[in-house]
Amino acid sequence: MAALRARAVLLTGSNRGIGLELVKQLLGGPRPPAWIFATCRDPEGPRAQELRDLASRHPNLVLVKLDVADPSAIISAVKIVEGKLNGAGLNLLINNAGIYAPATLDTVDSEEMIRAYKTNAVGPLLMAQAFLPLLKKAARESTDKGLSCSKAAIINISTIMGSIEKTSESFFKPVISYRCSKAALNMLTKCQALTYEETGILCVALHPGWVKTDMGTQEADLTADTSVRGLLSVLPILSEKHSGSLLNWEGKAIPW
């Protein structure tokens, strides 16, 4: 299996679920990144205890306070990451933070729609804008040819529920604000791919599957361990041919 050779990785929503499992498996891999920046809203709070325990044992894990819906918090996070990288670039930005509400067409309101868009679509947009200079730096300084996650990449954690073509198959859970905001994230990913490809940055949306987390509930098909093992086996094989695509945790294409 190909290995991910990213020197510096940043993940949002790292204190639970898929984000926490990504941190664990990146740390435990055969070639862990020199720097893993794990962000969450409250690194000092009770919900980040496991993340703090990991950081106490792994000096390459840096916890960063960040709410992706807050532009000023993103700017502060960039300064922290820049300081640690000390002139180096950021190879991999994984936009994992997301929110989910069981709202139907009858119950959803404007406040809930805006809240979902701010975190699920606008947050990843602002994160990419803010960290773009560090991603470009990593791309420029890499000796790798083509596009890859080891060179410079933006990975947006999306969902099959944002696929318009696949909606009828999963509409037993309407979750309107979540679906619409993730469809917007898919469009963002395509636009990022077309815009950033010339600077050497790969942009891909990944569906982690229906995972047993707080968001996915215990009804889900996959454990976080299985999902993340799949995602981490897909990341090293991504290239320019996948740019702007929506793929699942096994690397299979999902239609828009």
Average pLDDT (185-203) is 98
CA angle 128-129-131, nearest 5°? Answer: 65
> pTM for the complete prediction?
0.96
The predicted pLDDT at position 219 comes to: 62
- In tens, the pLDDT along 105-148 reads 999 999 999 999 999 999 999 999 999 999 999 999 999 999 99
Residue predicted with more confidence, 185 or 173: 185
Residue 214 in this model has a pLDDT that exceeds 70: no
Residue 216 in this model has a pLDDT that exceeds 70: no
Residue 220 in this model has a pLDDT that exceeds 60: no
Residue 197 in this model has a pLDDT that exceeds 60: yes
- Structure-token match 């945790």, residue found: 249
The predicted pLDDT at position 1 comes to: 52
The predicted pLDDT at position 221 comes to: 76
Q: Lowest-pLDDT range, 2-6, 60-64, 165-169, 187-191?
A: 2-6
Q: Where are the domains of the chain?
A: 8-248
| Half-sphere exposure for 85 (CA within 13 Å, toward CB) | 25
- Of all residues in the chain, the percent with pLDDT exceeding 90 is 91
The predicted pLDDT at position 210 comes to: 78
Average pLDDT (98-103) is 94
- In tens, the pLDDT along 28-83 reads 988 999 999 999 999 999 999 999 999 999 999 999 999 999 999 999 999 999 99
The predicted pLDDT at position 106 comes to: 97
- Of all residues in the chain, the percent with pLDDT exceeding 70 is 96
Residue predicted with more confidence, 223 or 189: 189
CATH fold of 8-248 reads Rossmann fold (3.40.50)
The predicted pLDDT at position 222 comes to: 84
Average pLDDT (9-20) is 96
Residue predicted with more confidence, 2 or 39: 39
DSSP 83-148: HHHTTPPP-EEEE---------TTT--HHHHHHHHIIIIIHHHHHHHHHHHHHHHHHHH----S--
The predicted pLDDT at position 170 comes to: 87
The predicted pLDDT at position 120 comes to: 98
Q: What's the mean pLDDT when you consider all of the chain?
A: 95
The predicted pLDDT at position 190 comes to: 98
Angle between the N-to-C axes of helices 176-196 and 123-141, in degrees from 0 to 180, rounded to the nearest 10: 30
Phi, psi of 128, rounded to the nearest 5 degrees: -65, -40
Phi, psi of 242, rounded to the nearest 5 degrees: -100, -5
